Structure 1
Amino acid sequence: MKHADVIQWRFGDENTVIAEINIWSDRITVYDDVLDGRFRDRLKLDNQTGSLIITNTRAEHTGDYILQIKRESEIFRLFVFDVLKSVSVMEGDSVSLNSDTEMKDDDVIQWRFGDENTLIAEINVTADRITVYDDVLDGRFRDRLKLDNQTGSLTITNTTTEHTGDYKLLMISGRFSSKSFRVSVYDSVHCCGPTEAVIRLVLSALVGVATVIIVVYEIRSRRAE
């Protein structure tokens, strides 16, 4: 930062300025009212490093953040996931996670699993390619994943309890979209009756609604011409 006059953070396809540091005047400015106020009272800038902190994130903060320092720029692609849906399934059954969308010609769809956000399945529409990663996570998904090439929805067949966890859907080309599911797979031995199943499902849903996951998907650098 010591060689820069002005540091700017910009957001989205329109490169809207959302925050700025002017080194010479020792002034930090955040633009709360841009983009319908979605960043109001949520932005903090570190005046030593120029780092940007976004607090109380929501799905509408998903997108590209551009750090501009002189002629250098760095892009951070941020996905914010709110667990919207909890799904309960009995061990051995299949479960479908629906994207509720139709894919576009330039879409890349990714499904990721767990705290490590491990890539388990992907569709590249432009290349007309569907890939499932059978060997990740000790092969727990081997021969169990199916992708719908029209919608990007994911089906997990012959489920086991080790498939319990969070599944994240990313649309990372053309437009940004993200969605998350919390899947609970119950062992038939321990799921004794319909009443218990309903109670567990409700509790799972309550936990799901309260959980927010943030993933920085891609970081890359480029020199502005």
Structure 2
Amino acid sequence: MEKMNGVIFFCLCLWSLSGVFGSEFVSVMEGDSVTLSVSLTESQIKEGIAWKFGLKDVRIAGVMREDNDVRLFDDKPDGRFRDRLKLNKHSGSLTITDTSITHTGLYKIFNTKTNTKLKTFNITVYARLPVPVISKDSSQSSSSRKSRKNYHEYEESSKCVLLCSVLNVRDVSLSWYKGNSLLSSISVSDQSSISLHLEVDYQDNNTYSCVLNNNIVNQTQYFNINEVCQSCSAFCCCGFTEAVIRLVASALVGVATVAILVYDIRSG
């Protein structure tokens, strides 16, 4: 008898927990429609059903037991569902059109005659993702300086520092990829702006991309190293001494060219 009572108690626990952990999780992109599908019997519909939203169980739609007619309470709780609800009176399924992030939350369907919860949905509406922006980060310049006696010699590093950034996003990850290999990643849950650095060689011919993603979609931005990491002029890419020598050599060539022209004119 004690074993039988234990089995009954265990089954009752499972039944009660199913209402807590038995939610169906649904993800949808902002602006899309989503249908909360249920397959109720004709008798269940006739007994009346009510769709409720949020932790406070605010009624937003239902089929009335009195006249078996569909009623929409789309002005509740604050007008976020206005002109966005469709209820199928034959199956009991509820459709939300033109979703926004304010529609994220719990949705429950009840039998109004017995006040029994029939099913629970947990919806997450994700905002559409912007395309990441890739730029050269001059503030992270990797040039080095060496001093020699009374002058400085500048040596420009062969590294280019890139910055991938996005503004005003939440529940996303931002990642750098080299081909299909993940190099680095950062995630945020609260609304914020995020950025991620990457250092590459000016002569690197590999394919790099910055990817912004959530649980549904991603936005990828590829970059051309020759466009983003433009090489500097000859003066800054070489040492100070070498630059002076090049300038003097150019000047001498110019003087020689002028002298030859003058000589040719006089000889003529």
TM-score (norm 1): 0.50
Alignment of 1:38-53 (within 5 A): 38-53=80-95
Q: Deviations for 1:189-218, whole angstroms, at most 9, x for unmatched residues?
A: 46699xxxxxxxxxxxxxxxxxxxxxxxxx
Distance 1:140-1:11 versus aligned 2 partners, 3 A rule: farther
Tell me the matched-pair count: 154
Question: Which of 201, 214, 219 pairs up with 1:168?
Answer: 214
Superposed displacement of residue 23, structure 1? 5.2
Q: Aligned Cα RMSD in Å?
A: 4.4
Question: Is the 2:72–2:85 contact (alpha carbons within 8 Å) kept by the matching residues of 1?
Answer: yes
Give the Å deviation of 1:149.
9.7
Letter in 1 for 2:214: K
The structure that is strand-richer by fraction is 1
User: What's 2:182 paired with?
Assistant: 142
Q: Report the CA distance shift for 1:188/1:31 in structure 2 as closer, same or farther (over 3 A).
A: same
2:164 is aligned to: 95
Q: Does 1:36 align with 2:78?
A: yes
Asked if 2 retains the 8 angstrom alpha-carbon contact of 1:66 and 1:75, the reply is yes
Task: Flag the 1:169–1:98 CA change in 2: closer, same or farther, 3 A.
Answer: farther
SS in 2 for 1:47: coil
Instruction: State the secondary structure of the residue aligned to 2:62.
Output: strand
Structure 1: runs of 5+ lacking an equivalent: 101-108, 114-119, 121-136, 171-179, 194-225
Cα separation, 2, equivalents of 1:66 and 1:141: 42
- The letter of the residue matching 1:22 is M
Partner of 1:77: 122
Task: Using the TM superposition, give the Cα deviation of residue 19 of structure 1 relative to its aligned residue in structure 2, in angstroms.
Answer: 0.5
The 3-state SS of whatever aligns with 1:75 is strand
Query: Shift of the alpha carbon at 1:36?
Result: 2.1
Q: Is the contact made by 1:8 and 1:20 (CA closer than 8 Å) also made in structure 2? A: yes
Contact 2:107 2:120 in 1 (8 A): yes
* Distance in 2 between residues matched to 1:14 and 1:151, nearest whole Å: 25
- SS state of the match for residue 102, structure 2? helix
Is structure 2 residue 64 aligned with structure 1 residue 22?
yes
CA distance in 2 between counterparts of 1:149 and 1:44 reads: 31
What's 1:186 paired with? 223
Unaligned runs of 5+ in 2: 1-39, 137-160, 200-206, 231-268
Kept in 2: contact 1:64–1:76 (CA 8 A): yes
State how far apart, in whole Å, the 2-side matches of 1:80 and 1:149 are.
Answer: 14
Relative to structure 1, the CA distance from residue 143 to residue 149 in structure 2 (aligned partners, 3 Å threshold; closer, same or farther) is farther
Residues 5-58 of structure 1 show CA distances to partners (whole Å, capped at 9, x for unaligned) of 122111112111100113562211100221221111110001111111111222
AA aligned to 1:37 is G
1:56 paired with 2:73, answer no
Q: 1:143 to 1:74 in 2, by over 3 A?
A: farther
CA–CA distance in structure 2, aligned partners of residues 153 and 74 of structure 1: 37
Note if contact 1:67-1:74 (Cα within 8 Å) is conserved in structure 2. yes
Which structure shows the higher helix fraction? 2
Structure-2 separation of matches of 1:31 and 1:8: 10
Which one has the largest radius of gyration? 2
The change in CA–CA distance for 1:157 and 1:62 in structure 2 (over 3 A counts) is same
1:8 to 50, 63, 80: 50
- How far off is 1:181 after superposition? 8.1
Describe the superposition over 1:38-90 as per-residue Cα deviations: whole angstroms up to 9, x where unpaired: 11111000111111111122222222222224523422222223336443115
Q: How has the CA–CA distance of structure 1 residues 72 and 49 changed in structure 2, closer, same or farther, with 3 Å as cutoff?
A: same
